[in-house]
Amino acid sequence: MLPPARTMTLYADDDLLVVNKPANLPTLVDGYHPEAPYLLSLLKAEYGELWVVHRLDRQTSGVIVFARSAAAHRALNIQFEKRQTEKVYHVLAQGAPAWESKTVNLPLLADGDRRHRSVVDAVRGKPSATELRLLERYADYALIEAIPRTGRTHQIRAHLAALGHPIVGDQLYGGKALEGLKRLGLHASRIKFHHPATGDEVEFHAPTPDDLTQVLKALRQGKPSLQPRT
């Protein structure tokens, strides 16, 4: 059952709407399943006209921003295009990295193979940078903070897979399922930018959802194991 739009709302004013998107809900209409619910439609029913500023993958949970006026949309688009925003993700990845922090600079080519993945390509790929910081290390997994400094498709997913640490549940990039988490282990935790009307720096945080919280608790206790997908 989908939560009401108001319960997803983190902040709203005349220019901005910031919400905590649940996992397994697409941001926009699914072309293959146009009848299925999607976030923008649910929010418009509550708040009226909205402008899309950025997106989150269907399985990704967390903070997402919409504009509530054309002027705010233009101002926010400039910030996102110029990389004047900061987006922070929490990632549950496979393996236990030996490093505490790392900056990944691997060029990515979107739709680079038959599975339509973003692939590392030194010749045709676009410059792509992701800052990584280890938050917690478990026996076979790790909780990682990821800050993309460029905005390539599936950037965090592709970069972690290239390092040998695919995201839990990310079948497309080699991640396996983990008991208790029926989706991608990726959560948009925080976003920081300048308010389009006032120019003030603002920051919004989406709390870790229950499914990921429970899995992390179990991992700290050494309980769950990888479950193969069928």
Q: What are the catalytic residues?
A: 57
CA distance 65 to 189: 12
64 in Cβ contact with 76 (< 8 Å): no
Closest CA to 178 of 213, 137, 222, 228: 228
Compute and round to an integer the Cα radius of gyration of the chain.
18
170 in Cβ contact with 184 (< 8 Å): yes
CA distance 194 to 164: 35
Alpha-carbon dihedral of residues 113, 117, 121, 126, nearest 10 degrees? 130
Run of H or E residues at 210: helix 210-220
CA distance 184 to 24: 9
CA distance 208 to 60: 12
Closest CA to 149 of 201, 88, 203: 88
